[in-house]
Chains A and B, each alone.
Chain A
Amino acid sequence: KQEVTQIPAALSVPEGENLVLNCSFTDSAIYNLQWFRQDPGKGLTSLLLIQSSQREQTSGRLNASLDKSSGRSTLYIAASQPGDSATYLCAVMGSNYQLIWGAGTKLIIKP
């Protein structure tokens, strides 16, 4: 059974710092891995999607990597801003199109 773990559960850093969020999964037979952002009381916004055959994806200040063999993904945020404060969720998709979710990392960027 696939399990997804995110570390740390919470992170608070000063504005301007580069930071890394971690995601690990137990079954390497994934179809893709996705990173989402959730603002308090809001829905989920897809940030990056990495197919199982890919190693990384980039969007603006965000870079996500995938190492399927070791069951790990990282989300790198460059030059963090207070507007980046949110909960970041990692989810892996199996061949049945079901997303299995991590518990999230709550990120606070201090001005």
Chain B
Amino acid sequence: DAGVIQSPRHEVTEMGQEVTLRCKPISGHNSLFWYRQTMMRGLELLIYFNNNVPIDDSGMPEDRFSAKMPNASFSTLKIQPSEPRDSAVYFCASHGPLTGDEQFFGPGTRLTVL
């Protein structure tokens, strides 16, 4: 298996633009997590899905952030409009019934909002 796949790996955009981050979890995994990592706040959970259903989105910072999981193999995290303070590395992780409690992380998307 290729592991968790995220795209793009790097994104540079201007303030006010819409940004869409993509994640493909490991096949067979039924939970998906979106995290954000910044120097100031470290790693924070934004939202997680179980069987494509959002379970807890209390970590989503503002209404500008939205996430979807239309099927078991794809999820998006959208920021509209983006702001410079959204600059961070965004990680996606997945977990499945056969992995115990271990979460497998993607390589992350480094977002820079100018």
Which chain A residues have a beta carbon within 8 Å of chain B's beta carbons? 31-32, 34, 41-46, 49, 51, 89, 91, 93, 96-99, 101-104
Partner among A41, A93, A103 whose Cβ is within 8 Å of the Cβ of B42: A103
B101 touches A49 (CB 8 A): yes
Residue of B nearest to A32 (CB): B101
Q: Which residues of B contact A31 (CB under 8 A)?
A: 101
CB contact under 8 A between A46 and B56, given known A97-B48, A104-B42 = no
Please provide the 10 A-B residue pairs with the shortest distance between their CB atoms, ordered closest to farther: A101-B43, A44-B105, A43-B107, A43-B105, A103-B42, A32-B101, A46-B102, A98-B45, A43-B108, A101-B42
Minimum Cβ distance to chain A for residue B76 (Å) = 19
Query: With an 8 A cutoff between CB atoms, is B106 at the interface?
Result: yes
Q: Which residues of B contact A96 (CB under 8 A)?
A: 56
Q: Which residues of B contact A97 (CB under 8 A)?
A: 31, 48, 95, 101
Partner among B31, B43, B100, B107 whose Cβ is within 8 Å of the Cβ of A49: B100
| Interface of B, helix, strand, loop or mixed by DSSP | strand
Which chain B residues have a beta carbon within 8 Å of chain A's beta carbons? 31, 33, 42-45, 48, 56, 91, 93, 95, 100-108, 110
10 contacts between A and B (CB under 8 A): A31-B101, A32-B101, A41-B110, A44-B105, A45-B105, A46-B103, A46-B105, A49-B100, A49-B102, A101-B42
A102 touches B31 (CB 8 A): no
Residue of B nearest to A98 (CB): B45
- A34-B102, A46-B103 are known; give 8 further A-B pairs, CB within 8 A: A42-B107, A44-B91, A46-B104, A93-B101, A97-B101, A98-B45, A98-B56, A99-B33
CB contact under 8 A between A102 and B101, given known A43-B91, A44-B91, A97-B31 = no
Minimum Cβ distance to chain A for residue B35 (Å) = 8
Minimum Cβ distance to chain B for residue A36 (Å) = 8
Minimum Cβ distance to chain B for residue A88 (Å) = 13
